[in-house]
């Protein structure tokens, strides 16, 4: 593979000025995450796509999949956008992807001016892949293929790949202000994670030296944890706008006992115990 394509979802709904601002925060977060794992990379953005160039693609992908704002990533092969070059690159690539007897399909899309349409790309690239693997008994199946080859043509370059690997999506962390999360349990850590996904920069207040806040470190290399410090003091020191708690619908008495002050968020309030455990398992395994 030559490059990683990263996509966002919600950010694309913003106006052009706001979108550029969010893109800059997202790219900065991506670089910070990669640097935390000693991965060097060049990150650029063009026409709603973010391109990550690194010589350690396999190591970079799981890191990028934990960056809030990224909807999906794909390791991709780069080819010239001339039809013959795309056919040649896809045919060679397919020999290492398809197994004997498997079915495949080609899905193409393009941006810019070209002497062909997306349907032409799908047909001609698909033909090249079929001919390159004809001796292996492969077949075309446009409905339920074993392997789908995606071709994105953007101006003079074509990107060929077979995977859409999901990220956490949401908004870039740091785009929506600061909050303080009171983390004493895994449920509290999940509540903090959900505010991170909504673009908040989270600061952790806890009484535990090495506790549930560790769950969040994989998602924010710059996470700041204040141990044994009064939450109100943390709020003041970091100039946060609100607090975050892991209380659910069964904790109404605890919610009532909270002292009046800044706004408080309870992102788990409508979730069942089963939903909470599923979310926690997914976060830990990501």
Q: Write the pLDDT tens digit of every residue in 81-140.
A: 999 999 999 999 999 999 999 999 999 999 989 999 999 999 999 999 999 999 999 999
Residue 181 pairs in a beta bridge with: 204, 244
Handedness of CA 160, 161, 164, 167 (dihedral sign): negative
Instruction: Specify whether the backbone of 264 is left (phi greater than 0), alpha (psi in -120 to 50) or beta.
Output: beta
* pLDDT at residue 47 in the model: 79
Map out the domains of the chain with their CATH numbers: 3-77 (3.30.70.1510), 82-155 (3.30.2130.30), 178-285 (3.40.50.620)
Question: What tokens appear for 242 in the block?
Answer: 């609100």
Tell me: the pLDDT tens digits for 148-201? 999 999 989 999 999 999 999 999 999 999 999 999 999 999 999 999 999 999
Q: Which has the minimum average pLDDT: 38-42, 46-50, 123-127, 152-156?
A: 46-50
Q: How far apart are CA 67 and CA 57, in angstroms?
A: 16
End-to-end Cα, the chain, rounded Å: 22
């Amino acid at each position: 593979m030559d490059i990683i394509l990263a996509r966002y979802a919600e950010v694309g709904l913003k106006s052009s000025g706001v979108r550029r601002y969010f893109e800059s925060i997202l790219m900065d977060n991506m670089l910070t995450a990669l640097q935390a794992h000693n991965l060097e990379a060049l990150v650029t953005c063009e026409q709603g796509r973010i391109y990550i160039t690194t010589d350690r693609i396999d190591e970079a992908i799981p890191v990028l999949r934990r960056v809030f704002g990224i909807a999906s990533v794909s390791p991709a092969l780069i080819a010239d956008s001339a039809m013959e070059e795309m056919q040649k690159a896809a045919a060679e690539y397919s020999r290492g992807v398809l197994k004997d007897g498997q079915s495949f399909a080609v899905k193409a899309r393009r941006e810019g001016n070209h002497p062909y349409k997306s349907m032409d790309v799908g047909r001609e690239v698909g033909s090249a892949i079929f001919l390159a693997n004809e001796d292996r008994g492969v077949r075309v199946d446009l409905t339920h293929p074993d392997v789908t080859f995606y071709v994105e043509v953007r101006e003079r370059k074509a990107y060929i790949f077979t995977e859409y690997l999901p990220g956490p999506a949401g908004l870039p962390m740091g785009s929506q202000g600061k909050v303080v999360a009171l983390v004493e349990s895994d449920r509290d850590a999940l509540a903090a994670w959900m505010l991170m996904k909504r673009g908040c920069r989270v600061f952790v207040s806890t009484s535990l030296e090495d506790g549930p806040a560790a769950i969040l470190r994989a998602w924010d290399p710059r996470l700041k944890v204040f141990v044994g410090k009064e939450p109100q003091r943390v709020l003041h020191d970091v100039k946060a706008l609100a607090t975050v708690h892991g209380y659910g619908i069964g904790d109404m008495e605890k919610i009532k006992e909270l002292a009046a002050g800044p706004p408080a968020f309870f992102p788990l309030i409508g979730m069942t115990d089963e939903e909470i455990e599923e979310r926690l398992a997914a976060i830990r395994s990501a």
